[in-house]
Amino acid sequence: MRLFFFLFCGIFAGLYLSWPGLVIPKNWKCFNDIIAKSNQDKISFKAALEISPSYLLKGRNRTTISKIRIVADACFR
């Protein structure tokens, strides 16, 4: 039981240090809006500015994890 407690605390602390706005509901609305707009092929300007040039140059390295990271960086930082 103690192992799960430390594991949960470690995961939460790591996510909070990476994205401090993770616990703010307004930021989750931003996250959901970007996801909804991306389904319609409209991307927000804020999310477009978060994309690194290396991501654009490496066209084949677009995994789901990298897409989630970009959207989370746009909303939770």
DSSP string for 4-32: HHHHHHHHHHHHHHH-GGGG-HHHHHHHH
CA 51 → CA 18, 21, 57, distances in Å?
17, 19, 11
Is 72 in contact with 31 (CB distance < 8 Å)? yes
Q: What is the pLDDT along the chain (77 residues), one digit of tens a residue?
A: 999 999 999 999 998 888 888 888 888 888 887 777 766 666 666 666 666 666 655 665 567 777 777 777 777 77
pLDDT score, position 64: 74
pTM: 0.56
pLDDT score, position 11: 93
How long is the chain?
77
